[in-house]
Structures are given as C-alpha cells and as structure tokens.
Amino acid sequence: MFFKVVIVLVACHKVTALFEGDIKVPYELVAEEYSGVLADNLLKGGYLEDSYLTFGTDPKRIRRWDDGVVPFTFSPSSTFTNEEKELITSELSYMSLITNDLLVFKMKDDNDPNYISFDNSGVNGCWSYMGMVGGAQTIHLGEGCVNSGTVTHETMHALGFWHEHSRPDRDEYIQIFTENIKPTLLSQFEVRKSIDSMGTAYDLKSIMHYGNRVFSVNGKVTLSSLEFPDMKLGGGVLTDMDIEQLKLLYGGVNLPSAAPTFLDKCGEVNRHKRCKGVGGCRWSKRTKKCIKKKN
C-alpha cells in the first residue's frame, strides 16, 4: 500500500460547454449515447471532435495507450512555472509507481507520434480528451487547475476513464436532484450505457466522481449517496478502486485481495505483454492474458 500526502487541493474549474464539464469527445459518440441536439450544440461551440477517425475502427471503443507508455510534453505556448511543471511530472510519476509501471509516463521525443501536451494558454478551465486520440492531444490546466487532484483527474480521462457518476448502475448508489441543477446542464448528469467498470464496485470517493454541488443552480446539493446522504462525494486522491481499475485497464492485474486466476500460475505480465513465469507460459493475443503453453 502506498500513501500520498496532498499538500494543496483546489477544486477543478469545469468548463460548462464541454461534455460533462471537462471532456472532449467525438460528435457521434454524444449523438448516439445521448441526443443529436446536445451533440449539435457542443459541436457548434467547438467542444466536440467532428468524427471518429482518430478513435479506430470501433467508434464505441476508447483507445488505450500502446503498452501503457504515455509520452508527454509541455506546450510551447504554455506558461507553467517550474514548480507547476514539477507538480505535474510528480503526479504522473506517482501514477506509474502505484500501477507497478503498468503505466509509464515519459518525456516525449521525436519517435513518439502520440503524446499528451499540457497547456494553460488561451481560455481558462480544466479539460482533457477521452483516451488516446492520436497525435498531439491537449490536457488543459488553466488558472486554479494545477493541483494534485485536478492533474490526476484530467490525466485519468486521457487514459480512458469516464466520470464515476456516469456508470449504468449509478442510480443504485446515488440520487440526482434535478431541481437543483442548472436547466441547461441537466445533460451532464446522464448515464452512459456503454461504460464498462470491469466488475469493480461503485466508488463514491473516486477521484472521477462528481462532488455534491457540481453545476448547482441554487447552491444546494445536486447529487448525494443513497446510503450515506451526508457523505462528501469524490475526492482529490486516487482511491484503491481507482488504482484497481487502472491496473485492470492497462494490465489485467487485480489487487491482491482479488480471487486467484491462472495468471498467478503463469506469473505476472509486464507492460510489454511478456509473461514473467517459467517457459511454460505465453502471451495470448486473443485473450490478452498469460496462458499455459500446449505440450
């Protein structure tokens, strides 16, 4: 178990014209999952990509970073201080550490066609693309966004994670108070039917969960836990469940408390998809797991 002390945590400044406040996604994904009207409005505002072209052949599939390697750089137009660059780099290093290097963040070089570009120029706000979109993709960290919680939250989007409150099973755990939400932002609380949480439990404290009063029109609560109504939702650090999902998405590795599988017999798989066990194991491209070799 790793413990991390967060010295400063500033709430993320959501940009209301973006999908769910801080995500850039393709037009068709919003149109198919929600409505064409919402997609049209966001596209007109310049906050949606106009096609799936960078998302591969399957429009519903969010692309992961190849072998868990995520090159990054700081945009030439950015004005981050050295301290801010240090904080961002430190957060990325921590994510590598807690995933046992299933995720590896490295400074971009000339051989990296796909990479994250951190920027703070132009309009304010915190936002990211969803998954690896190909080429240079921005994580924008405007005024008030360069803090541990927000850097990690936006990076999680870039790694392929949606907001926790969008899960198909969310109504079993939280209540949405539509009367307290700004009418123009009700669509930000829709459920995404295609989200796959890989069998993990709903996480009220996830770094990807909305806070209790996000997008409130009157300062009152917009969402709360059904079982624990007074609980503060979300948080500024990765929870054990967040970490488990990272490991599942980028390596198929469960937490130690998970039930043993044949992975235990063949040894763990590293980020290069090579089985660490003895010669009797091989990497299966079909199942994406370590399996026993045939005799």
Catalytic residues: 154
Residue in 207, 162, 169, 206 with CA at minimum distance from that of residue 188: 162
SS3 128: strand
Residue 49, strand partner residues:
26
Strand order in the sheet with 23-26: 48-49, 23-26, 126-129, 136-141, 115-119, 69-74, 104-107
CB-based burial of residue 270 (10 Å sphere; 0-12 exposed, 13-18 middle, 19+ buried)?
middle
Close Cβ partners of 73 (under 8 Å, ≥ 6 residues apart): 107, 108, 115, 116, 117, 118
CB 42, CB 71: distance < 8 Å: no
Q: What is the DSSP letter of 56?
A: -
Measured N-to-C along each axis, helices 82-98 and 240-251 cross at an angle, to the nearest 10 degrees, of 70
CA atoms of 295 and 292, how far apart (whole Å) = 9
Q: What is the DSSP letter of 72?
A: E
User: Residue 98: enclosing H or E segment and its boundaries?
Assistant: helix 82-98
Close Cβ partners of 183 (under 8 Å, ≥ 6 residues apart): 217
* The two structure tokens encoding residue 172: 């079993």
